[in-house]
Structure 1
Amino acid sequence: MAIVAAIGGQVREQAATLAVAALVLTLGWTAWLTLAAVRRSDLVLAIDLALAVALVLAGGLFHPVQHVLTNHPSVTGAYPMAAVAAWAVVRRVSGGVLAGGIVAAVLPFAYELNRASVAELSFSQTLAMTASGLSYVLVGAAVGTASTQFDRLAQALARSSSEAARLAEGERLAARIHDDVLQHLALLQRKGLDLASRGDVRPGEVRALMAEVRAQEKALRDLVVPGALVAPPGSASLTAFLEQLPGSYGDLEVLVLASGPVVMPEIETAEVVAAVKEALTNVVKHAKATQAWVSVFDEDPGTTVFVRDNGVGFTFVEDAAMAAGRLGLLVSVRARIERIGGTVAINGRPGRGAEIELRLP
């Protein structure tokens, strides 16, 4: 626009100030849109279209008299096309046609301001004005159609890429499971059959076999949910904390069984872990157990944690436990779980070990 104004000689001297003001305003608006990376909101689009309309009308004032009837380029010709195209990109065909129609509707007024009365135009001049107006509408329709097609192509490409990624991931998982997990499980099956055929199986051999089974279960889980869980801010993985417990209770072998990460608020996670620790401490002190199991089940509508042992068990009577001063289960376990809205069930099972059930909301 500036080049056309500078070298085209298509600005009347009496209206040069208006032409300069129009160019400066358009430059400032365009620079702000570009440098600020402004999102094409409804307000921005409306201002952009209003500026385009103002430029068309201003051109009628500062161009030479009846300039619109000549074939000379217009100083303000390019920007309205860009504004219509912007509407078409954001609002698709309907928006482009609407913006193009508005600019086209202003052309007769620009003709009048340029002292080219619409009523006195010849057939060819009327046809030229109509063609100029239609060009704005056609630009809006064409750009809107192309933008819609590009969106559809992009969505189709995204779906194809996603499907290809899923297929590739499925092939990778199948190969890993076949080459790693299934091979180990076949070996564990042979070991189990060998132990069964011997008849005199030692507890340590069974524990070693179960440890290998757990390792394969964890490997399979890691394949399905790869990578370490990143808990959202303010939350933590209950399973991750419980898996740190084995090895902390002397000769008591602690096994943690969970189907996957269980994410809970940090405060609730801390209370549950503390309650489980207290339950295991009671096992060490009173149960005469060699093994304890901590099982986590994430179910609808909540989570359940079981702490079981293979010790001597006991008959749990709450009043008797309080009278004897054995407050670990009542205060450190039940009180903690009830503080976070959960419940505790204690099953002593004399001679068959004990079971503590923590139900969490």
Structure 2
Amino acid sequence: MTDTPLWRAVSALGTRDPATPLWRGVIVLRVTTLLFALGSFIVHYDGYTNKWLAWTSFGVMTVWTVLSSALYARPTSRWPWLVGVDLVLTVALMFTSAWILTTAQFDANTPLITTVWAAVPPAAAGTRFGALGGVLAGLVVSVVTGLVRFRFDVDVARDGFLLTASGFVIGLAATMARRSADALTRALRMEAATAERERLARSIHDSVLQVLARVRKRGAEFGGEAAELAKLAGEQEIALRALVTTEPTHPSENGTTDLRAALQLLATPSVQVSTPAGEVQLPEHVTAELVAVAREALLNVEKHAGEEAHAWVLLEDLGTEVVVSVRDDGPGIEQGVLERAAAQGHLGIAESIKGRVRDLGGSVALDTAPGQGTEWEVKVPVAARGKR
């Protein structure tokens, strides 16, 4: 199963950083800005007051360019703390300009020893942490620039705007790249799982399902105990068909499961399940509780409505909330029966249905009358999708 081209594509996407092209851009930016800083260093070198410190600062810039570029080039070494060290080191080198440049050079707006090399940390922070990280790093570099120059004028403000804007844009691009890759991975995983289920369904249809269908048909013709076996075979046939045609219900990487797929497994000859065409992803525990509520309602149908009763399970995703309805065509519940049962200490429905839904922050409505069947309507707010 995992050796198919689709699963190999899913595996490849899962091990690759979608922001890798942006990291390559950060490396190119670091190297080119170092070359620009070298040109500025050569042009203004004669005017520096502390040439030894100037050489030391530029040497550190060169070594860090080589080291950080090598680390940024490898997906396994793009640690969050590395970006933090990058920013701190850059800021420290910017402060050395206070002892390198003369007062006349500051008055002439001579570039700091780091010059445009200092623009790399906001780009790296945006690539690693997103738009907010890029903006914060850009603001830090901008403020330090003003502190080193002892003034906040139009030039400093302009540079600060460009730094924060570039950090924001690069961060936004990195975030969109990761989201797009996640969406593509989910789509490929779903396609691969669907293809595998179809393969299994074809195999099972040619063997097990055909046998169950024949037992159901012949048993019903013979009657008696054979009819009972036919009924059981029919139930297993429907359950097996639902199993091989329904998406997996195990949790996804973000801890959610598909409520639609989980409810479809409740289908039997006497229970029909109607769900939306798309997935209804909810946190794993929310899905489990709603399925338990539906099972409890169906159990009450089996206990009190008789074997001939039919039930319908309906799932609706309304955007702001999900609604699960369980309706049957049984005799219904007489008014006051539930209240008397609760007063006598029989809390099965109250705790299994109302209690579960209450814990999820939802609501329950019961519509029933003698001879008109029973309908439970459970509503859970969409906010429950984010609960863990």
TM-score of the two chains, using structure 1 as the length reference: 0.43
Structure showing greater Rg: 1
TM-score by length of 2: 0.40
